[in-house]
Every structure is written in structure tokens, then in C-alpha cells.
């Protein structure tokens, strides 16, 4: 009897997720915050990965955290996030350098990096 819960997810090459693109049109720092701009309508997302990003980012998340949560390399996440930003599904906010670092943000980024 096969235990489906212990089977690894199907392997999809990263370039297949980005249609061969390796660089986003706009580079987002890994600590940039991504948030879904509107309720996701089927016509706005083009893949299960994009849908996952849109749903995850209903709560603000860093680019690095998104990559870790959907289990793709950072570069792939940047391309997918860039595509969603171009279509208005998400907004990306580059963090400004504050006088004191935001500890909660740094902890979330570190947690996301550890999951990579």
C-alpha cells in the first residue's frame, strides 16, 4: 500500500515554471514585501504556482519567504512575482532602510531562507 503523504511532489524544472526565463523584468530584493492587490480571479493567474503566490500574499510576505513556501529557487519566485505584478495581481514594496532594523521582518526572512 502506497502512502501518498510521504511521496515527494512531482519534479518540475524551474525553467518550465518561468517559460525559460531566468531573469525578471524588474529585480526585487529578497526582503521586498509582496501583497495581493485584489481578489484573485481565474483570468489573472496562469499557473498553480502563481495561484499559490497570490493566495499566500493575501498577507504581506517577503520575496524570500514566498520562494521558501512554494519551494522554488529565489530566481524563479522573482520571475513569477514579476509576472503577477505586471498583471496587477500583487504589489511589491521594496523595504526602506530604517534607522533600526525591523526585527519581525528579519526573523521572517531568516526563517524563509532556512526553509530553502
CA of 75: how far to CAs of 27, 41, 48, 52, in Å?
Answer: 9, 25, 17, 16
Say if CB 82 and CB 26 are below 8 A apart.
yes
Rounded mean pLDDT, 70-88: 89
Compute the C-alpha angle 91/94/100, nearest 5°.
135
Instruction: Give the phi and the psi of residue 35 in degrees, each rounded to 5.
Output: -140, 140
Answer yes or no: is pLDDT of 97 > 80. Answer: no
Q: What's the burial of 8, exposed, middle or buried (CB within 10 Å: 0-12/13-18/19+)? A: exposed
Write out the three cell numbers for 115: 526553509
pLDDT for res 3: 47
Q: Using DSSP, state whether 72 is helix, strand or coil.
A: coil
CA distance 49 to 77: 9
How far apart CA 52 and CA 84 sit, in angstroms, is 11
From 14-23, 62-71, 97-106, the region with the lowest mean pLDDT: 14-23
* pLDDT tens column, 34-49: 998 766 666 777 788 8
Amino acid at each position: 500500500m502506497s502512502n501518498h503523504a510521504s511521496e515527494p511532489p512531482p519534479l518540475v524544472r524551474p525553467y518550465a515554471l518561468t517559460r525559460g526565463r531566468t531573469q525578471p523584468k524588474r529585480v526585487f530584493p529578497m526582503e521586498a514585501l509582496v501583497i495581493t492587490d485584489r481578489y484573485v480571479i481565474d483570468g489573472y493567474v496562469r499557473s498553480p504556482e502563481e495561484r499559490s503566490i497570490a493566495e499566500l500574499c493575501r498577507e504581506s510576505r517577503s520575496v524570500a519567504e514566498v520562494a521558501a513556501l512554494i519551494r522554488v529557487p529565489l530566481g524563479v519566485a522573482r520571475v513569477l512575482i514579476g509576472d503577477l505584478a505586471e498583471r496587477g495581481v500583487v504589489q511589491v514594496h521594496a523595504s526602506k532602510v530604517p534607522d533600526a532594523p525591523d526585527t519581525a521582518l528579519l526573523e521572517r526572512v531568516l526563517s524563509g531562507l532556512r526553509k530553502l
